Amino acid sequence: MEADPFTHPHHHHDSHRGWVRPGGRRGRWIEPFLLVFIGGGEVHGAALIGRLDELCLAPNGVDVGMAYRALRELEAEGLVTSNWLVDQAAPRRVYRLSPEGRQALRDWTGVMRERERLVATFLEQVESVEPDEGAQT
């Protein structure tokens, strides 16, 4: 029997491999980027949203409510901690990674590497798709 070229040799992995970190609920792109940006050092919410917008994760910009909801969920899960910084004109909540958040970031690194593999496989395979007969080349 010939091997299926689309089957990954580790087919026994979770069906969500490459899309959700182990133990995670969210499959969206926002969680790993929040964790990696927070992992770079203490940062406030508005700066995080600005960095997410720079990535163009959403066509009309990141939904601010969704971003703050995600931050609250990450904090409730113990992945980030926060406190108010009041030594400036406007108080700001700043976030930092907890040890559990650092582990989640390592988990996301594995997920992203799998996404990279899946995208590369797609791009390799799409090259072999024949163009429509009526399509101009």
**Confidence band (pLDDT; 50, 70, 90) for 88?**
confident
How far, in Å, CA of 86 to CA of 64, rounded?
A: 22
Tens of pLDDT, residue by residue over 1-60, are 444 444 444 443 444 455 555 555 544 689 999 999 999 999 999 999 999 999 887 788
Tell the residue number behind the tokens 């590497």, with chain if given.
113
Tens of pLDDT, residue by residue over 98-110, are 999 999 999 999 9
Q: How far is CA 26 from CA 29, 69, 83, 131, in A?
A: 8, 12, 24, 36
CATH match of 30-121 with 1.20.810.10: no
Question: Are 42 and 94 contacting, i.e. CB atoms less than 8 angstroms apart?
Answer: yes
Tens of pLDDT, residue by residue over 25-40, are 544 689 999 999 999 9
